[in-house]
């Protein structure tokens, strides 16, 4: 896999509503891979790759925003009070570094009341995001030269490899961005076209309510929709077998259910058939809480889109130590590439009895054309 691309995409900042840097990076990466690129008024990147047939459209969306903060107040000593942009487990914020994106980037650290001076009641209380502040190590006069109320803050952590895994901040959802970029690259390398016109959307503000995907779906009105995101891998000590959701190293996850989406049963069956035919390792995902852009694409398309999601199993979601397995990342690229290439091989009518897609004679490789056999 292209670890260096994943490193760059994860470490480029982009809090919800402040996606400029990651947007510019993605546009540069995908420009040679698509037929056209536009940026809409909310900030979504919409890249179009023409398909074999333009009678239908595919929307594949990966949100490019990461959870972060916004500066709420600068106090008399130069400490920053903050509001969250996205969902945090506050106990994970202790002892973390952040980057404040003012007129220039400043490194800071998350501070809170020391445990040594807490009362017994305070020690027993779960922390809240508003209990924390950002310490830049500068007096107010210096802070105000570079930082203003309303500036964005992102977390600081470099990518590292641990065994067969990647550990870094913001795999949610730079992993999805990586998958979409690599799928576009695989299609170009294989000199093949998607079945229908493919709208590769790098959406904004997912972490604060899937706002970019809603806008994108209203514009594109896709027939088929794929969300590319992460999901919970609770395969660690203490997890019950029914709680795991997914496991690292078992392949990409085909979404069946989350709190925003009941995946289209036809799409689930199709993705399972593609996974089997192409020898792509996969597992099924049912996420009790949380959602992705898939729900927005399904609902904000007139008549509804045939929607599903490809999810990367990740441990420690919404922490700076998110962990994904290389097998699962590559399998996600392979599954999306094969799916967008073979949509026309499936009968999408309700109640259709599709035969399994023909198995490939050789093992799946991202730079080969997906199999074209199967019932039309």
Q: Token digits for 247?
A: 């496991």
Q: How far is CA 203 from CA 51, 210, 263, in A?
A: 21, 8, 20
pLDDT digit string (tens) for 173-210? Answer: 999 999 999 999 999 999 999 999 999 999 999 999 99
Q: Closest Cα to residue 277, out of 366, 190, 372?
A: 372
Q: Are 119 and 33 in contact (CB under 8 A)?
A: no
Distance (Å, whole) CA 358 – CA 296: 32
Catalytic residue among 29, 182, 206, 285: 206
Q: Token digits for 104?
A: 């220039």
pLDDT digit string (tens) for 311-323? Answer: 999 999 999 999 9
Query: How far apart, in Å, do the first and last CA atoms of the chain sit?
Result: 33
Confidence check: pLDDT of 362 > 80: no
Which residues are CB-contacts of 61 (< 8 A; sequence separation ≥ 6)?
Answer: 201, 202, 203, 213, 216, 225, 226, 227, 228, 293, 294, 297
Task: Provide the strand spans (E) within 67-159.
Answer: 68-74, 80-85, 97-101, 105-111, 133-135, 152-155
Instruction: Put residue 160 in one of left, alpha, beta given phi > 0 → left and psi -120 to 50 → alpha.
Output: beta
pLDDT digit string (tens) for 256-290? Answer: 999 999 999 999 999 999 999 999 999 999 999 98
pLDDT digit string (tens) for 238-256? Answer: 999 899 999 999 999 999 9
For this structure, is 182 an active site residue? no
pLDDT digit string (tens) for 130-163? Answer: 899 999 999 999 999 999 999 999 999 999 999 9
């Amino acid at each position: 896999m292209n670890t260096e691309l994943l490193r760059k995409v994860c470490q480029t900042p982009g809090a919800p509503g402040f996606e400029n840097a990651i947007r510019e990076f993605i546009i540069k990466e995908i420009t040679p891979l698509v037929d056209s690129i536009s940026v809409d008024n909310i900030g979504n990147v919409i890249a179009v790759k023409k398909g074999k047939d333009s009678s239908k459209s595919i929307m594949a969306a990966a949100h490019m925003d990461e959870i972060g903060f916004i500066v709420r107040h600068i106090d008399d000593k130069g400490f920053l009070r903050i509001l969250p942009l996205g969902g945090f487990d506050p106990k994970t914020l202790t002892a973390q570094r952040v980057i404040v994106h003012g007129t220039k980037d400043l490194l800071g650290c998350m501070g809170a009341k020391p445990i040594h001076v807490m009362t017994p009641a305070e020690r027993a209380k779960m922390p809240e995001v508003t209990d924390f502040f950002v310490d830049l190590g500068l007096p107010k006069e210096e802070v105000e030269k570079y930082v203003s109320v309303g500036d964005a803050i992102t977390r600081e952590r470099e990518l590292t490899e641990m065994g067969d895994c990647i550990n870094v901040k913001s795999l949610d959802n730079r992993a999805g961005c990586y998958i979409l970029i690599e799928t576009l690259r695989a299609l170009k390398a294989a000199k093949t076209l998607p079945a229908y016109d493919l709208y590769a959307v790098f959406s904004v503000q997912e972490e604060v309510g899937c706002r970019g995907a809603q806008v994108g779906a209203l514009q594109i009105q896709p027939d088929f929709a794929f969300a590319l995101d992460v999901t919970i891998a609770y395969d660690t000590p203490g997890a019950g077998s029914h709680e795991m959701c997914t496991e690292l190293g078992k392949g990409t996850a085909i979404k069946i259910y989350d709190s925003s989406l009941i995946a289209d049963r036809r799409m689930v069956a199709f993705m399972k058939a593609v996974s089997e035919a192409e020898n792509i390792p996969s597992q099924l995902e049912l996420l009790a809480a949380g959602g992705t852009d898939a729900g927005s694409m399904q609902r904000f398309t007139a008549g509804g889109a045939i929607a599903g999601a490809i999810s990367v199993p990740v441990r420690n979601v919404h922490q700076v130590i998110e962990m994904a397995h290389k097998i699962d990342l590559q399998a996600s690229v392979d599954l999306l590439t094969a799916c967008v290439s073979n949509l026309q091989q499936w009968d999408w009518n309700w109640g259709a009895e599709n035969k399994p897609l023909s198995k490939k004679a050789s093992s799946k490789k991202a730079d080969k054309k997906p199999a074209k056999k199967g019932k039309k």
